[in-house]
Amino acid sequence: MSDNELDFIELDFNELPFEEMKERSLSFYKIMNRRRTTRHFSNKKVERELIEVAIRTASTAPSGAHLQPWTFVVISNEELKKKIRDASEKEEIETYSNRMPESWSELLKPLGTDYVKEHITDAPWIVVIFRQTKRQRKNLEWGPTYYSQESCGIAIGIFISAIQNMGLVTLTHTPSPMGFLREILNRPKHEHAMLLMPVGYPADDAKVPNLSRKNMSEVIKWME
Ligand code: IYR
């Protein structure tokens, strides 16, 4: 295909003055630096429209071959949440008591995590992201997707940022193993549950572990 056969449009881009770039970058950083993972959710309702905007924002993520290999399943139904919590706790009790080596549990101790997943029934919304490992071609044959882990990871990062930016909280919960989510949520075989995120307001007495983040000298290696 030659260049003039490609369907390309002008990039929508405005160059900003340095001062404005600096101001915007810092104000976004300040919002994101207040983000914390809490396990304590209030049951206060959140408008569906806000969750939809967060997913619309997540879905702007770049993805391998622009396949957008994700499905966000959004649950508010109380019975379904209870079913997911029961199934998650059934796996997690086994993980915490038998499957987790000591080298792993020593790291989780200060985070105060355990097999009890009350956040699944407390939060008004549960968002489960499924990673699509296959896609249907125009001729209806099935083909693979590309870089679906990376693509979904980026989409999740943007989702978390959107939730933080709108003034809500979320938690990245990884029940392990999480195959039960495909069954309960009736997703096809080529979709793999990647993460379960309760979304809502924090409980009035929500707590977080007293952690600090790495210094930039540990994170960045400049080579100028
Ligand atoms: N999947 C468990 C355990 C867990 C694992 C890690 I690594 C964490 O940072 C936190 C929890 C759970 O979701 O509780």
In-domain check, residue 49:
no
In-domain check, residue 10:
no
Å from CA of 23 to ligand 1 middle: 35
Domain of residue 125, CATH code = 3.40.109.10
Q: How confident is the model at residue 70 (pLDDT cuts 50, 70, 90)?
A: very high
Q: Which of 96, 174, 194 to mutate to test the pocket of ligand 1 (most atoms within 8 A of CB)?
A: 174
| Closest C-alpha to 207, from 45, 35, 32, 36 | 36
Rounded (to 5) percent helix, strand, coil in the chain: 45, 15, 40
In-domain check, residue 77:
yes
In-domain check, residue 34:
no
pLDDT digits (tens, 9 = 90+) for 99-149: 999 999 999 999 999 999 999 999 999 999 999 999 999 999 999 999 999
Q: Is the pLDDT reported for residue 56 higher than 80?
A: yes
In-domain check, residue 116:
yes
Q: How confident is the model at residue 2 (pLDDT cuts 50, 70, 90)?
A: low
> Can you give the pLDDT at residue 3?
61
> Can you give the pLDDT at residue 160?
99
Helix (H) or strand (E) holding 71: strand 70-75
For ligand 1, atom 6, name the residue with the nearest CA.
108
- Model pTM? 0.96
Q: Which of 173, 178, 208 to mutate to test the pocket of ligand 1 (most atoms within 8 A of CB)?
A: 173
Could you tell me if 208 and 38 are in contact, meaning their C-beta atoms sit under 8 angstroms apart? yes
Å from CA of 113 to ligand 1 middle: 7
In-domain check, residue 184:
yes
Read off the pLDDT of each residue in 205-217 and give the average, rounded to a whole number. Answer: 97
Query: How many residues make up the chain in this entry?
Result: 224
In-domain check, residue 132:
yes
Which domain does 144 fall in, by range?
A: 55-203
Q: How far apart are CA 107 and CA 124, in angstroms?
A: 29
Mean pLDDT of the chain: 97
Ligand 1 closest atom vs CA 104 = 7
Q: Is the pLDDT reported for residue 1 higher than 60?
A: no
Ligand 1 closest atom vs CA 113 = 14
**Percent of the chain scored above 90 by pLDDT?**
97
Total number of domains constituting the chain: 1
Å from CA of 173 to ligand 1 middle: 7
- Residue 57: CA atoms inside 13 Å, Cβ hemisphere, count? 17
pLDDT digits (tens, 9 = 90+) for 160-174: 999 999 999 999 999
In-domain check, residue 185:
yes
